[in-house]
Amino acid sequence: MTSHILVTILANYMVIILTVDGRIKGEMIMLKNMGGIDRFIRIVIGIAAIILALLFVPSAWGIVLWVVAAIMLVTAVFGSCIIYRPFGISTCPKK
């Protein structure tokens, strides 16, 4: 049994269609809930975490900093924070 994951990034949302053997299994839409300032801060934190991780490479702190950097940069790129969703938080400007 083969599985395929198709990820399409559109202007205001990301659609992930999971298919198994060519059939649509499910669809998840992640609306953007982060504004420009929030994304910029996450990028700065992510870059700072990478720099610090390079200084603490052999320690457990280095691993923690790499994870923090990955989370910050991925959420900034996609503009969606999964932790904001259950609380209804959105830093996007009102349209």
Going from N- to C-terminal start, the domains of the chain cover 1-31, 34-95
Give the per-residue pLDDT at 1. 45
Average pLDDT, rounded, for the chain? 77
What is the DSSP-derived secondary structure letter of residue 94?
Answer: P
Mind listing the pLDDT tens digit for each residue in 55-71?
Answer: 877 788 888 999 999 99
More confident residue, 7 or 71: 71
Sign of the dihedral defined by the CA atoms of residues 37, 43, 48, 53, in that order: positive
Instruction: Output the pLDDT for position 68.
Output: 95
pLDDT value of residue 13 = 46
Task: Tell me: pLDDT of 31 over 90.
Answer: no
The DSSP line for 11-48 is SSEEEEEEEETTEEEEEEEEE----HHHHHHHHHHHHH
* Comparison of pLDDT for 23 and 46, the residue scoring more: 46
User: pTM of the full predicted structure?
Assistant: 0.65
pLDDT for residue 21 is more than 50: yes
